[in-house]
Every structure is written in structure tokens, then in C-alpha cells.
Amino acid sequence: MRSTLLRPGDSGPRVAGLRAVLVDVGVTSAQAGPEQASDLFDAQLELAVREFQQQRGLTADGLVGPETSRALDAARWRLGDRILRHTPGHLLVGDDVVELQERLLSLGVMDGRVDGLFGTDTEHAVRELQRSCGLEPDGTCGPATLRALAQLARTVGGGDAAALRAGEHVRRSGTSLAGRTVVLDPGHGGSDRGALGGGLAEADVVLDLAQRLEGRLTASGVTAVLTRGADQDPPLAERVALASQVGADLYLSLHCDGAGSAHAGAAGASGAHGVATSYWGQSRSDGRPVVRSVVGARLADLVQRELVARTPLADLRTHARAADVLRLTRMPAVRVDLGYLTSPADAALLADPAFRDTCAEGLLAAVQRLFLPEEDDAATGTLLLGDVVARSTTR
């Protein structure tokens, strides 16, 4: 499916194809009735798209852009539908890869995390599995490897080895921030101004916030790396690649929201306001989250609690999301949506430099608390820059 945006009111063969794909992946409400035109993006199809987006942990805006298109394509595949192999530059993506990665993680032969991409980590894990089963270690998941997985599934189950490893890695890394690297990714930039409201542009607000946080992290001994400057808007792939290149320990994606924005979706009605934080995960059909990044979920919870405790912003809670910025980063990542610029109250707060300082202080506190053991943790809303610097210079 091409990446050109599809929206309500559109018509033609691409809309008919969208409807057919939604039905094929289990969204039966997309099926056109006898009196409906199958090639019209009507209200029923919009609701079906939103249903799919909610199921996949995407922004439920009812629009079919690149991210939703990729998710639709991934949802078509089940493990066993095709042979899986690593092809540099053309990585296979799909739910079949997700299922394979989940099985490899449960068997303890994979150290990476579930991202739905058949990359080098997955290939190495398949080779390890094949060696342990006496198969040719070619890294390709074909019929023989699938049979071995089916046999092992009868004897292995439960637990989350990846989550245990991630938590242990954080515990063993120490409590000090000194020597760590944090990537700060202020959204939008350049000609893309993001959400607008109250005389403010999202791109400017989040860049200023990132720079204030950069100074505090640097004072704590952290190498803080910004993904862009004022006149830059690098594509997501470049932002994510930069984080890998610098060996980042954490990735913070900074945004504001706005009623009617693509991210706000159905929630972006007039009067929407508050702060929300997201981590890499998805939602089950029963609404319960599938946590893909345990450390990311923990950091998102800390960020949300610190910002709510320190500011008047309404608590819109943390959410498991399958956004590419969270899925494709190789380190724990969170996305922070700090207020609605279309809310006069939120915009007035965000226009105040002192308020942005408070938010930067809260983000710094959340990062520090991520590495503190329970017995050494600070109460929400109390940790200050001086405390963080003291911890980093004495440990």
C-alpha cells in the first residue's frame, strides 16, 4: 500500500483495497454492505480504521498514512506464511516476525527485543536455535526451523527473559547519571511547525525544552545529544540512526499536542488539554497493554508522575503505543506530549520560560529515578538538579 494519505471522503481503487485489507486482517466492520460503495472512504470505514489503529497501538485518527499503512501490511502475515531471512537493506517486517521473536526470546536464544524487523539480532538468534536443534545454522526460518519451534513450544512457556535482562541491565549499570548518553528528540522542525496555538509553534516549544533539559543533563555528567536544530527536520530514520550511532542509553521524544492534530485524533476535540507519555507496546483485544519495552514503560511512568506532580497539567496517563519512534529505537524510549497548544490554559503555561524550566527539571528527575533502587528512590516531585548532580559526583 502506497504511503500517500487516505482520508474520509476519498474514493477509488486504493480505498477498495484498504477495505479489503482491513477485512482480511480481521476488522470485519470494514466490510461494505449491499447498499454501500466499497471504494468510498465513508464514516463506517473511518471507524474501522480507528478500530484497527487502536488494536495496534497507533494514533486512532482515522487517517491512513505511512505508519498505519505499514501496520496493515505487517498484520497480513502469520508465522509460516513465508520463509523468513535477513536481507540487508530490505528487512522483512510483519506479525510473523513478531511471533518468531517472541518465541526466540522465550527460549532464551535472543537478547534483543521484539520490533517486527528481521534484522541481525533475529538472524543470530535463529542460528543459535538451529545449532541447539541440530539443524543447518543458516539463519533462515523455513519449514525445518518452524517444526523445531513447534516442538519446543510444548515444553517451554511463561516468563519474560527479555524483561528480566533489561531490568537487570539497568540495575547493574549503577545509580549515577555520569557517563550516560541521552538523545533528546524535539519533534518537527524546519518548515514543519507541528501543532499551533496561543501564538506558539510546537517545533519551537519542544526545541527550547530540549535545550533546557540538555543543560541540566550536561551538568549531571550526561552526554546529551539533540537530533535537530531550529532549521532542521531530519526524517525519523535519521533521528533513530543517530541514537544508535552515539550509543544512547535513553531516547526522549518531545512533543506538544493540538486539537485536530494527527496525534490527537478522536481525543483532540475542543477543550482537550493535559500531558501524556507513551512507551513501546501494543494493546490486546481486551484492552490490556502488551509491554514491549519494560524499561521504557517504567521511564514513561516516572516522566508522567513527575510532570503531573510539578505542573497543573491534567494527567492523561501513560500509554502503550506502536509508534515507529518507540518501536525502532534500540534503547528504551518514551514520547512525551506536553500539553495542548490549542488549549488556552496549556498554551499559557507553555509560553512561560519558568514553566519550561519546571518541566525540564521533572524530566531530569525521571531519568535519574530510573536508575535508583527502590530503597534509594526519591519521592515524586522532590528531586532537584542539585540532588542529581550530587548523586552523579559521589557515586
Q: List the CATH number of the domain containing 37.
A: 1.10.101
Residues near 169 by Cβ (< 8 Å), separated by ≥ 6?
none
Question: Contact at 8 Å (CB) between 221 and 394?
Answer: no
Q: Are residues 187 and 332 in the same domain?
A: yes
> pLDDT by residue for the chain (395 residues), tens digit each?
444 789 999 999 999 999 999 999 999 999 988 888 889 999 999 999 999 998 888 888 899 999 899 999 999 999 999 999 999 989 999 999 999 998 998 888 988 788 899 999 999 999 999 999 999 999 999 999 999 998 887 555 555 666 667 777 788 888 899 999 999 999 999 999 999 999 999 999 999 999 999 999 999 999 999 999 999 999 999 999 999 999 999 999 999 998 765 454 444 445 789 999 999 987 655 556 677 888 999 999 999 999 999 999 999 999 989 888 999 998 999 999 999 999 999 999 999 999 999 999 999 999 999 999 888 888 898 888 887 887 776 65
Q: Are residues 65 and 202 in the same domain?
A: no
Distance from C-alpha of 97 to C-alpha of 141, rounded to nearest angstrom: 10
Q: Are residues 245 and 286 in the same domain?
A: yes
Q: Are residues 107 and 206 in the same domain?
A: no
Read off the amino acid at residue 136: E
Q: Can you read off the three cell numbers belonging to residue 228?
A: 535537530
Question: Contact at 8 Å (CB) between 101 and 116?
Answer: yes
Q: Are residues 109 and 222 in the same domain?
A: no
Q: Can you read off the three cell numbers belonging to residue 279?
A: 512507551
Asked whether residue 214 is domain-assigned, the answer is: yes
Distance from C-alpha of 148 to C-alpha of 216, rounded to nearest angstrom: 51
Q: Are residues 143 and 28 in the same domain?
A: no
CATH code assigned at 153:
1.10.101.10
Can you tell me which residue has the cell 535519521? 238
Identify the CA nearest to 97 among candidates 110, 112, 115.
Answer: 115
pLDDT score at 291: 72
Asked whether residue 322 is domain-assigned, the answer is: yes
pLDDT score at 167: 74
Q: Can you read off the three cell numbers belonging to residue 80?
A: 509460516
Q: Are residues 146 and 228 in the same domain?
A: no
Residue that finishes a domain, picked among 75, 103, 120: 75
Asked whether residue 165 is domain-assigned, the answer is: no
Region for residue 221 given its phi and psi (left: phi exceeds 0; alpha: psi -120 to 50; beta: otherwise): left
Asked whether residue 129 is domain-assigned, the answer is: yes
Q: Are residues 51 and 196 in the same domain?
A: no
Structural domain that includes position 112: 95-159
Q: Give me the half-sphere count of Cα atoms (radius 13 Å) on the Cβ side of residue 317.
A: 3
CA torsion sign for 294, 295, 296, 301 is positive
Distance from C-alpha of 318 to C-alpha of 301, rounded to nearest angstrom: 6
CATH code assigned at 296:
3.40.630.40
Q: What is the pTM of this model?
A: 0.81
pLDDT score at 377: 86
Read off the amino acid at residue 358: T
Asked whether residue 164 is domain-assigned, the answer is: no
Q: Which helix (H) or strand (E) holds 386?
A: helix 385-394
Q: Are residues 68 and 130 in the same domain?
A: no
Asked whether residue 7 is domain-assigned, the answer is: no
Asked whether residue 105 is domain-assigned, the answer is: yes
Q: Are residues 21 and 127 in the same domain?
A: no
Q: Are residues 154 and 24 in the same domain?
A: no
Asked whether residue 172 is domain-assigned, the answer is: no
Number of domains in the chain: 3
Read off the amino acid at residue 297: A
Q: Are residues 43 and 105 in the same domain?
A: no
Residue that finishes a domain, picked among 75, 103, 128: 75
pLDDT score at 138: 97
Q: Can you read off the three cell numbers belonging to residue 46?
A: 473511518
